[in-house]
Chain A
């Protein structure tokens, strides 16, 4: 059974800093890994999808890496802004369709 863990559970940093969020998964036989953002009381917004054959994906100030062999992914956020404050979730498929989510990292960017 796939398990996904995210560390840290919460993170607070000053505006402008670069930061890294971590995600680990127990079963390395994954098709892809996704990072999502969730604002309080809202649904999910997909940020980045990394296929199993890829090492990283970039979108603007976001960069996600994937190391299948070690069961790890990181989400790097450059030059953080207060608008980046949200909960960030990573998820991997279990089987063909189900997604298994981590607990999330609650990120606060202080102005």
Chain B
């Protein structure tokens, strides 16, 4: 069945470095993928909407130069957190919209800890 895979599931990086999180749609093509972040005990907040082959649309307050999103194919979107700082530590979740049925599927999420 349709699955969204995120990798890595968790990552620890040093302050000032960059880290990339991948979001892949398995068994379906996704023209649109979404990136969310979730702080402990808070709800999901949409960061950006990623459309295949075009620039991502960022939500207000999200720095596009810090959170680089690339959606180069119909099955892969990546989120790169550049010059990471401890306050970027969070749970990042992606979702992908099936281009055929418009159903949205969520990934398992990626834990980022910046030390």
Contact = CB atoms under 8 A, between A and B. Distances in A.
A61 interface: no
Interface of B: 6, 32, 34, 41-46, 49, 91, 93, 95, 97, 104-109, 111
User: Majority SS of interface residues in chain A?
Assistant: strand
A87 B104 CA distance: 19
A43 B32 contact: no
Given A43-B6, A44-B95, 9 more contacts: A41-B111, A43-B107, A44-B106, A45-B106, A89-B44, A97-B34, A98-B46, A100-B46, A103-B42
- What band does the interface of chain A fall in when counting residues whose beta carbon is under 8 Å from B? 10 to 19
Interface of A: 36, 41-46, 89, 97-104, 106
B49 A98 contact: yes
Contacts of B111: 41
